[in-house]
Structure 1
């Protein structure tokens, strides 16, 4: 199995982070399928007692890898040499442990041939860490793994300008060509701990881990989801620790309103009038309808009749 190295802790400020949060973050990363976690020694020093592993002599100039061997946490120095790839000097990689960085525009090149040459370069260990300024890093990392690459480095939630950990893990799971055994339902917990440690909020529409990616308003979208979720969802909300939520708004159709009425155990009579007033209100207010708003509206419509 290829190694998946998470580098999130190399780039976030953990000075004031709770050691319990840091240790829990690491344990959740291993659960979701990460092979190694990279961090500077001061980060691991804060939580090594919680990880129940023997202390080692830290070299402050290096980062270290945390891994699990037979259920036991172990540290090892990061001995990878970082290089920007010079396609004319692939032979220089022989017998070395290399992390290839950059590679921003690799997808518009003949990357299959480049990957083939890298895999046959004679390097002792090759880790790919593509940059994400062109928003292609996850795709590049995934192609590397699918072609037989032995290691990638990535970070959680677009952190550190790296490939996105959660996108790669989900793509591997959907693709079905990997023996990935991680439980991705912990991604919601990882997001919560990450936000607590960093004070940053993951965007609501962020792929895989965004809080709002399973909120559905459009009438035709809701109709499709209720008939067969696979029409719109390549993976279920539960598989990433999320839930599906039908939201009422100006784009809602009758099917959406009936669904919400049944969900709240409300009468379905006067459905056309309820839908008309709901759309009118949402268009004027410029926001969606809450369950409380719907309760109030239904009561008003029924009183009118």
Structure 2
């Protein structure tokens, strides 16, 4: 049984997030199967009362007392603490420093943050050492993303038998990306196959509204254009058997495959696109394809559906 703790609501204190927006995020997270959320003290106070069905985690500052924040499932403290409801957090920025954790092997609940460079080392050995040191403990791994591989480290930890990771939506706060870890575990390990991951589209819109930041259209799992296909050979493979080309169905995350027409398109792309608009005339395909390559090369961009239809109309008129 694995546990993903999403810490997004502990990373957004610099933005104005209303109580309603905080509660909406909690609702979305439950829909995608995550019911463990880490929040900041600011978010805790703004929500006034914590919604049911979610276990909340809260990071304590040096002078904060757990008793001041009732209703929290577990607290996180950046110091050694043996209380059962407090997770002791340790920052490890160099994989070679894992050996230093031996001094704290008596703790039963720990979080290891950092390990940015783990991908450059024998990560399996590092994981083995961590598990050996804390062999009677609950270990939460919270990899940071300085070297752009936090999601990979989190996934490898879970695949290797680790039980807990801390992530954040879209990787905010220099973290592993919640949606990437969720999807990887679904595809690789078949974890929670009944999750409603189509709610990720709503979370993406929520995140963009709250932060004012635009998520890249090519962002894994949640990017708006990750299922856009232009290359002729890729389109051909997609049309023959989508599962050979896509690791999972786009519908799982509330999206769909879209054939993009451009200079890399082939005959099957044109034929499929024409069929979308009820046009079936194989004789026109070579002419349309030639024009598509010419126009898209001149414009240095693929064609929108409107531009493609205008081009088809011109070809039909000239035919």
Pick the TM interval, shorter chain.
Answer: 0.7 to 0.9
Q: Distance in 1 between matches of 2:300 and 2:237?
A: 25
Structure 2 match to 1:273: 287
Please list every run of 5 or more consecutive structure 1 residues that lacks an aligned counterpart in the other structure. 65-73
Name the structure 2 match of 1:100. Answer: 112
Task: Select between 208-217 and 4-13 the one with higher mean Cα deviation.
Answer: 4-13
Q: Does 1:203 align with 2:200?
A: no
Task: Check whether the contact 2:15–2:210 (CA below 8 A) recurs between aligned residues.
Answer: no
Give the match for residue 140 of structure 1: 153
- Which moved further from structure 2: 251-260 or 294-303? 294-303
Q: CA 1:180–1:232 in 2, change beyond 3 Å: closer, same or farther?
A: closer
> Could you say if the C-alpha distance between residues 129 and 181 of structure 1 is closer, same or farther in structure 2, counting changes exceeding 3 Å?
farther
Residue of structure 1 equivalent to 2:72: 75
Match of 1:229 among 242, 246, 254: 242
Q: How does 1:51-200 map to 2 (within 5 A)?
A: 51=51, 61=61, 75-78=72-75, 79-85=86-92, 86-96=97-107, 97-122=109-134, 124-176=137-189, 178=191, 182-200=195-213
Quote the Cα distance in structure 2 between the aligned partners of 1:148 and 1:285: 51
What TM-score does the superposition give when structure 1 sets the normalisation length?
0.87
**How many Å separate the matches in 1 of 2:245 and 2:303?**
23
Asked if the contact 1:155–1:163 (Cα under 8 Å) also holds between the matched residues in 2, the reply is: yes
Answer whether contact 1:209 1:240 (CA < 8 A) is retained.
yes
- Give the conservation status (yes or no) of the 8 Å contact 1:250–1:288: yes
Between 1 and 2, higher relative CO (CA 8 Å, sep ≥ 6) is seen in: 1
Change (3 A) 1:105 1:14: closer
> How far, CA to CA, are the matches of 1:209 and 1:155 in structure 2?
13
2:40 counterpart of 1:40:
yes
Tell me how far apart the structure 2 counterparts of residues 183 and 289 of structure 1 sit (CA, whole Å).
33
Instruction: Say if 1:155 and 1:63 are closer, same or farther in 2 by CA, change over 3 A.
Output: farther
- What CA RMSD, in Å, does the superposition of the two structures yield over aligned residues? 2.5
Most deviating of 108-117 and 226-235 = 108-117
TM-fit CA distance, 1:52: 6.0
Residues 143-201 of structure 1 deviation map (CA, whole Å, 9 limit, x = unaligned) = 21122223111111121111111111111111126456532222111111111111111
Say if 1:103 and 1:50 are closer, same or farther in 2 by CA, change over 3 A. closer
Instruction: Check whether the contact 2:33–2:196 (CA below 8 A) recurs between aligned residues.
Output: yes
Aligned residues of 2:288 and 2:315 also touching (Cα < 8 A): yes
